[in-house]
Amino acid sequence: MKIVLASSNKGKIKEFNFLFKNSNFKIIPFSEFSDIEIPETGNSYEENAFLKAKKAFEISGLPVLADDSGLEVESLNNEPGIFSARYSGEDVKDEDNNKKLLRKLKNKPNRKAKYVSVLIFYDPMKKIEIYTYGELKGIIGNKEIGAQGFGYDPLFKIKNTNITMAEISFEERMKVSHRAESTIKMLTELNKFQRK
Q: Cite the active site residues.
A: 68
Q: How many CA atoms lie within 13 A of 27 on its CB side?
A: 22
Please state, in angstroms and rounded to a whole number, the distance separating the CA atoms of residues 184 and 190: 10
Q: Nearest 5°: phi and psi at 190?
A: -65, -40
Please state, in angstroms and rounded to a whole number, the distance separating the CA atoms of residues 29 and 8: 7
**Residue 184: closest CA among 126, 133, 149:** 133
Please state, in angstroms and rounded to a whole number, the distance separating the CA atoms of residues 77 and 84: 13
Neighbours of 94 (CB within 10 A): 19
Please state, in angstroms and rounded to a whole number, the distance separating the CA atoms of residues 36 and 141: 35
Please state, in angstroms and rounded to a whole number, the distance separating the CA atoms of residues 97 and 81: 12
Which DSSP symbol is given to 63? -
